Every structure is written in structure tokens, then in C-alpha cells.
Structure 1
């Protein structure tokens, strides 16, 4: 008998049996189920299984937290249940039948940005390093930065912008590619579509306000402004979905023997035209409204309340999957206001979670409920977020979270962010110990 045979049998029974399982997969720490009838799962009994650390439902999937031995548990479960496992992507597709319209929209958003995260992290680290060597005056009694003194580092600073610009300035290319890949459209055409939104021949959208002469495509009976959408998220998302939807529909109606020529032509050209006439300006407006609302919340007299709520709620948002929408908002803020105050709070939330876990390790109580770790972390994250917004901390870019996140903070705000980091470490650590000793939130 394998190590988790008994526990696997219990889980199979409490989850509603084999007939209630539409799909099952696993990730690094969790079993992921798509259930035909989620109400049949007896959560209380499942959470009492010896090796189970907790459960939650996210993006239409019922997830059971097992820990680092999830692979062994998964293998035993498959053997016991007779259910064939599927890939995580297949499980995600199956899970969509359990989602409402809003959840499906958020799931699509998450799947668009997930492939872009490695590039965004690299870009954030690069821009952060450029902050250090280019903007902070370390040398000659605090009067000069490293690049002002050393030619080598000046060259490095200039060279790294090539990569940073490629990632953030030309982000629409990545977005339209990702949408094409996700929806099964032709990926190279998705890339071409993205390039048409950021082509060097287009006027940068942020230069429109000061431009004396906006170039146009003159068709005689009508003119279309040659405006680019560099660093813009929503115009690229709208254009990407229109292109992919149009191509997939054309594939169904165009005869196979001419589809290689007709489908790309009739899907790409109309989409590019629609993107510059309708979708670009519309997406710009939508993005501006969203970023203005968030920016107002972050800079108003009630910014402390906005920060407190966001800092406290971000960790639960991760469980629901709603946190993915912050990527689009952050990128829009960066493009419109040359920085974001939202991302520093996300980095502080990650730090607070880590501090709470560190406290649990210190207390040597690895088997406590995750809730006991999460609540102190949320409180610490909330207070750190208030501090960050109160001190007007802004980041040049989004990137890797946690302690390295300080690299992405504007140089003039790094000390303020360091103070918020200390708060995010100390408060969750202390509260976790206090909560544990007082028996608060124990199972």
C-alpha cells in the first residue's frame, strides 16, 4: 500500500466519488479538481484528512492543499479513483463550465498575462538596476550618480534600455501574441498586429497633446490618424480578441483550398483598420478612465483608506484570481503617469506573507491552518500599504515581488519604501506569534 492510499480513498469519498470528478490535475502544492457538482464536496471532512492543509475554490476549480508531496498524493489518488489525470490547461478549460461571465473574463485576463510574466519580471529588474546606477547620487559627496562618473556603467545603462524598452514600450506585441496563442489563432499574425500598434512610423500617443501636426493616412474620402499605442494594454487586448475571433470564424466558412491566402488577408487587414479607427481610441479612453479612478484613489485625502483596503484584500484576491487585473492597471498607470503606486503595495503584501510564514517556522508549528498565517499578514500588509501610499511611494515598473521589489521603486522613494518593508516584516511576524500563543483562529 502506498503512502497516501488511505487519505486518497477518503478524499475520493468526501469529494463526491468518481462520478463527481470531471477533471483532476495538480500543481506544486495543490490537487486541482473540476467537479460536476461542487456542492457534493464535504469541505469539513476533506479538511480533516491528515495530509490536507486546507481547501479553496478558484477559477472554477476546487483545490485541495496537500503540500510538497502533492505529486505522490496525486499518483495514489489516480490509482485509487481510476480517474485519468489531465494537464493543468485541460483542467482550466473544463473548469470554465463552473464559472460565471465575470469569472470567465478574469480567467481569460489571467491567461493572457501569465505568459508575459517572465518578461515583465526581467524588465522590472532591468529598470530597477538602471535606477540604482543612473538616478541615485552615490558618489562625490552625493552629487553624481555612477553613470556620471564611470563610462562603462554609462554604457551598461544605455544598453539595458534596449531591453527595458522592448518589454514595456512594445508590450502590445506580447499581448496580441498571447491572445492569438490562447485562442488558437495564427500567432505570427498576432505579432504583426501588435507591431502595427507600436510601429515607429506612428506618432506616440503620449505626444499627441503637444504635437502641432498629427500625421494621417489619407484615403481621399476619409482620414485616419497615425497614432500609436505604445505601452498600452487595453487597445492591444481589444485588437487581439477581435483579430482572433475574426480569424477563427473565417476558418469555418472559407474553403480549405484557399484558406491559406484568404483567411490571413481578411482577418489581419480589417482588424488593423478597426484597431486604429475604433479600438485604439476606445481602449485608450477605457484605460484612462480606469487609471484615473485608481490614481485619484491613491492621491486623494482618503488615500489611506484606499491603501488599507487594498493592502488587506490583496492576499484574498490572489485566491480568487482577481489579482490578475492589477497587472493591466499597473501597466496603464505606468504608461499614463510614468509610475505606479499600486505595485509597491503588492510587493509589500508578498513581504508580509513571507514574514508571517517565517514566524510560523520560528514557532515550529508547520501544521497550523493557513488562515492563522494569512490574517496577521493581511493586517501587516494593510498597515504597510497605508505607509507606502502616505509617503507617496511610486515604482518605475512592475517586476519581481518581495524584498527585491525595492529595485523597481523610484530612487527618491526607496527610503520610504524601506520603512514600509520593515513594517511589512515586523507586524505580521509579531502578530502571528501573538495569535498563535493566544490560540486565535485555530481550527
Structure 2
């Protein structure tokens, strides 16, 4: 029997057996289980299973932290054992009554953005690599200057770095239709309509070189790089499609449903949703910039302090919206460097616990969790070690605030999003690289020192 199959069997048994499981899904790090009776779960037995780094209830789901890569393999074994799998979106529908309105809304936002993030990560890496290649020092190694670079090469790099943001509304509308029960292909076409070349380009309008089209008093432009208009067009469009499909004859469904859905939604999106939510986006962006621009690094201090607390609540997906707006409007992302500091700090705290601990179980849990945090995933460190022990989590928060303060003082800004700490180096392959490394070292070092001195004693090992 493979090790992952053994882990899968033990998890099923510990949560009350197959009869107690409604469905199973997974995200980047967690196995997400919907159960019939939470009282049948043996929490201690789950936490003692090999490869399990922590487990807890959140948003109506029992979430077992396994880590990247491992969770995919264990999920496959769970499905092979006859447990019905489901998508995160389907589970979100099952759990939609869990939590307050804000939590449910942000969870839905996260479900829409998670499938899009990989292409935005790739775009950020392309931006970082272009920044590295175009540095005078690097060009000088080959006896070149920026003037020697072919315009065709520049065009090629622009295709790599600009495409995802130009067609971002199409990606968002596609994902929103998928999450909210519509036909993703209709969502994709609706999103493409929002960035049609027939409309005035949004960036051209913002720069003053292009005039919007006025339908009466309503200005209409393309929505290149916009998030909220496409998100709400997808959300409402999926509902409209389902409403229409239930009411048209089956023989006419193929013709009428997509026709009416697209006609109604592009009209609604262009003349109402677009202008309204484009304005809302500008206010959100202004508010984010106001916090980031607080003097003396205070913005970085506040974000660094509170980021991992927000991660614990599970509503941190709201930051995806903010980071996308920063990248789309300015071509860089100061938020990334600050939250990197808070993530690195939790890894530093877990590392201190792992080295100081005498218990083999604690070492086996804390040291891999610290490594996971240094790769940008903090859930194992937070839920498996730091938050369980209490003080290490607090020390990580303090150190994260310090690192965020420095990142803000240094005006650090990544070329992309969603990768941090060690992988995040690829977003700073320019004159910022040494400062980025310094911020991470300070965050990890401060968290390690504080945890070692004040945050952890051997008797606190409740394992």
C-alpha cells in the first residue's frame, strides 16, 4: 500500500468513515471535507496522521492541511476509495449558509480568482525576467545597451507581460460563470465583449489620448484590466442564464439562451455595471494607496501586523483584488513585499520551535511547516504550530510588522503577485533584489529570536 493511500484511509476513518463524508475537494494546501456530523470527527486522531500538519473547521468545511503537492496525491487516493469528489465551487454552494455575509462574499470572490492566479503569477515572472534582462549591468555583460535591443524582442516580451491583463475581464467573467452555475464559454465571450477593440481602450482614455463613447450621459469605454465590472457581470450573468434556460423550450435552448444572455448582460454591463463598479474600483484603489502611502512606513507596519490575522479568518482573498488593481494601474505591487514579510516571519517562528523542541513529533511538524512558509504557504506553520502554541504566532505577527515597516520604507514593489519569500525573489530581479532579501532576513530573524527567547518553552508542547 502506498503511503498516500494509507494517509487517505486513516483520514477517512478519523473523520467518521465514508458514511459521514458528503464530499471532498482540495485547494493548494488543504483537503476540504464536508461531513454530515462533525461530532464523529476524532480531532486528535486526525492530527496524529502522518503528513497532516493541522486540521480545523472553517466556512462549514473540515479542512486538513497537507501542504502543496501532497494534498493532490492524497485527494486522488481518497477518490479511488469511493469518496465523491466535488469542486471548491460546489462545496461553497453546500456551505453557503456558513459564516456571515461578508465572509460568504469574500469566499465567493476567492473561488473566482483562485483559478486565474497561476496565469497572473506567470505574468509577474515574465515582468521580473524582462526587468532583469533589460538592466544595464546585465546588458553590459554581453556588450549591449538598451538601444541595441530589437523592437521585435520588446514586442515579444510585451505579449508575455500584457496579454493576461488586457483580457483579464474575460478570465474573470469565465471563472465567475463557472462558480455561479452558468456556462463558462458564455462568460468568456461576455468578458471578451468588455474589452472589444471596437470600444475606446481604457488605458488610452485614462491617459487622455482617447475619448469615451457617450450614450446620452453614460460614458462607455473598454474595461481592460478591470476586475469588479467583469466579476459582477459574471455573477449576474450566470443567474440570468439559468433563469432563461428554465423558461425557454428545450428545442430553442441552444439558440435563445446564449443569445438572450449575452444581449441582456452586455447591455447591462456596459451601461450600468461598468460605469458604477469602475468608479467603485477607483475608490478601493485610492483607499489602498492611502494606507500604503502612510508616512514613515506606517502602512507597511499595519499591513505586516494584520495580514496573517486576516489569513486565519479565511477572508484574505480580498487582497487578490487589491494586488491586481495595483499591477494593472502601476505595473508593480508594493503589497507583495509587505505580505512577504508577514509570511516569512511565521516561518521564522515555526523554525525556532522546530529547532528548540525536543519532541520528535514537534520537530517533524514544525521544521517542514517552516520550509512551507519560506515557499510562501503559511497554513501549515500557522495552524499546525504557531497558532496552536499561541506565543509563536504572536511573535511572528510582531516580526511581520517590522518586516512590513522596512519594506514600506524601502519602497519595495514586486512585478507580480501570489508568490512570496523564496519564490518571490523572481519578482525582484532588478535593483530591489538585495533590499528584498534584507527584508526577508530581518523578518525571519526577528521572529526566530523573539520565539526562541519569549515565545516557546518545552513544556508548552501539547502534542
**Are residues 1:130 and 2:109 paired?**
no
Alignment of 1:253-292 (within 5 A): 253-292=247-286
1:370 to 363, 381, 385: 385
Match in the other structure for 1:346: 339
Match in the other structure for 1:418: 437
**Are residues 1:397 and 2:390 paired?**
no
Question: What SS does structure 2 have at the residue aligned with 1:382?
Answer: helix
- 1:326 and 1:23 map into 2 onto residues whose CA distance is 28
Aligned length: 429
- 1:85 and 1:180 map into 2 onto residues whose CA distance is 23
- 2:221 and 2:281 map into 1 onto residues whose CA distance is 16
Q: 1:45 to 1:187 in 2, by over 3 A?
A: closer
Q: 1:158 to 1:353 in 2, by over 3 A?
A: farther
Alignment of 1:35-74 (within 5 A): 35-36=35-36, 38=38, 40=39, 53-65=53-65
- 1:440 and 1:131 map into 2 onto residues whose CA distance is 50
Contact 1:355/1:424 (8 A) holds in 2: yes
1:202 to 199, 204, 224: 199
Contact 1:8/1:77 (8 A) holds in 2: no
Question: What SS does structure 1 have at the residue aligned with 2:107?
Answer: helix
Contact 2:200/2:211 (8 A) holds in 1: yes
1:158 to 145, 149, 155: 155
Contact 1:176/1:194 (8 A) holds in 2: yes
Q: Considering only aligned residues, what root-mean-square deviation do their CA atoms show, in Å? A: 3.9
Question: What SS does structure 2 have at the residue aligned with 1:253?
Answer: coil
- 2:301 and 2:449 map into 1 onto residues whose CA distance is 19
Structure 1: 5+ residue stretches without partners:
none
- 2:286 and 2:60 map into 1 onto residues whose CA distance is 32
Question: What SS does structure 1 have at the residue aligned with 2:32?
Answer: strand
Question: What SS does structure 2 have at the residue aligned with 1:265?
Answer: helix
Structure 2: 5+ residue stretches without partners:
367-383
Contact 2:121/2:416 (8 A) holds in 1: no
**TM-score (norm. length: structure 1):** 0.81
- 2:245 and 2:144 map into 1 onto residues whose CA distance is 56
Q: 1:21 to 1:145 in 2, by over 3 A?
A: farther
Match in the other structure for 2:85: 86
- Using the TM superposition, give the Cα deviation of residue 159 of structure 1 relative to its aligned residue in structure 2, in angstroms: 0.8
The farther-off stretch of 310-319 and 227-236 is: 310-319
Alignment of 1:198-347 (within 5 A): 198-208=195-205, 211=208, 214-216=211-213, 222=216, 225-301=219-295, 303-304=297-298, 306-347=299-340
- Using the TM superposition, give the Cα deviation of residue 251 of structure 1 relative to its aligned residue in structure 2, in angstroms: 0.6
Q: 1:257 to 1:147 in 2, by over 3 A?
A: farther
**TM-score (norm. length: structure 2):** 0.78
